[in-house]
Structure 1
Amino acid sequence: MFAKQKEAYYNECGGIAVIVYDGSNDKKVSSTKHTVMVISVGECGNLDMITLRKNGRKDWSLFYCEQGTMTFEKTTVYPGQVWIYPPDVPQTYLLRQSDNTTYHYLHFTGNAVHEVIDSLGIPTLTPLKAPKDAFFEIFKKIKKSSVGDDGLSRVRTEYYTLRLLSLLSEESPRISKKNMMLRVTEDMSHTYPVPYDASKYAKMFSVSVGRFNHLFKEIMGTSPLNHYIKTRMENACLLIECTELTIAEIAQRVGYENPVYFSQAFKRQIGISPSVYRRIHHK
């Protein structure tokens, strides 16, 4: 599947080289007692390149566009904007030499990064506005302090990285919890045929699975899994009412390989079996 994605991007972007990383050459992420620890920092640009990381990275990835444009997950990032990938999230980003792009990257980890980003209300996987001059100056300080391997250099790097994140928090619009969950339910309405994955949604907001489950139930009044099943069954009802597909075919369409298990889940959710539902609605 990933080979097909690589070919699709190559064709779509006019033959730009597609570089696929499997993570084997990434600098290894070690455990740390520090709140934040920089893995690597640098700059790049002025080239044609599509980067695909199907498994993402084990650390956090922050990209700052200084000039030109970049494209992350088919979303354009302009000068003075930032894009953040949480760990283990697939990455796809594009550079065009004709855009004369220069960008800076920061890969970091830490024992409390999730909590820091969550508490600061910094969204991920979306363009973020950065205060250009101040942000760039702190980026340079991170580069300078990360060269040293002594205790003072590590403390300085940690301080500057936290300062960088605090600047993003000051510039980022606050996203209400309700709007956060609406993003989740919108995604569920398109992806319900695939197996439910709570970690996917937790990563969208840089929180733990437990925290995500709590937030979802607090806002939506039900668990995310129950909502996912409800979405499946609502679509199953539409297929039963509007098509001549068999129950087994409908089961597969909404994500169930076993039609017996589908029928049991349908009855628990709707109150009657799929076959009875069809008889009622086909009269």
Structure 2
Amino acid sequence: MSKPSNWPLSRDSERMVSPVVIRQQLQQHPLTQDCYPLAVGRYEKALFHEMSRNRHDDNILIYCFSGKGFLRTNHWSGEVQSGELVLLPKGVSHRYWANADDPWSIYWCHFSGHQAQEYVFNMDYKKTYPILKIGQSPLLMAQFSSVLAESSTGYNIPAMVYAANMLKQLLAYIGKLAQQVNTTERQQFNLDILQAYMLQNLNKSIDLDALAMQVNLSKFHFSKKYKEATGFSPVQHFLKMKVEYASYLLETSELAIQGIASRVGYDDSLYFSRLFRKHTGLSPSDYRKQKHT
């Protein structure tokens, strides 16, 4: 089992770590061997809380219900905000710590069992984004609290069996929330609508904030999803659209270079020409000559 942190508990905080003898019984018990808690806790305003593991042998959930923290894995690094859940499956090296100015308050749980990975997959784990934006969930907090309360009995096996089955209910509920989050994001992230918006505004300068606002996502989350869908960052793709439209105008119209630059949102024709050459290898004039010969 991966050892939990030794963060000094405050008055409103609690931590339960199952004794070895209990863990062994849970591993063998027919009602718990599939999935059972190893350690559970609640930390309030956990200033100076941090943990680093190059290797760990169980699965970890961290639900931030207030404040902020940070997480770093081999595949992702960033801020963890209130209403976000961190999922760290068995074997994923990681480091996490509380924000010094606004330390997080968290529920957390270490769990194992021969079906634990199935619960992880059901929660839609992604190693490149191990965060689930579920928002403030009183029901989830109540479920964490119940698992913690039952687990705190220590050596009482019937209570631990009950805690294990409450944990499985909690994990299944998170899986349901993950599905709801993904459905909402798919509805928000309509690529056709986004690209239509870009095409309608080729004569303007649109920054990342304006694009992300179209789908009500953070800049980071929007950029990540857009690149996954297209292979380009949003700004790179918008620029590519501008160059493609300028190429079309150079081929099919008699507009002067200044006029074409204006059509794609650039007042400075020299800047536009440098940009065009960077992306096509030709100046606008040479591109037009080549297409007309």
Q: Give the TM-score, by structure 2 length.
A: 0.46
Higher-Rg structure is 2
Normalising by the residue count of structure 1, what TM-score does the alignment of the two structures yield? Answer: 0.47
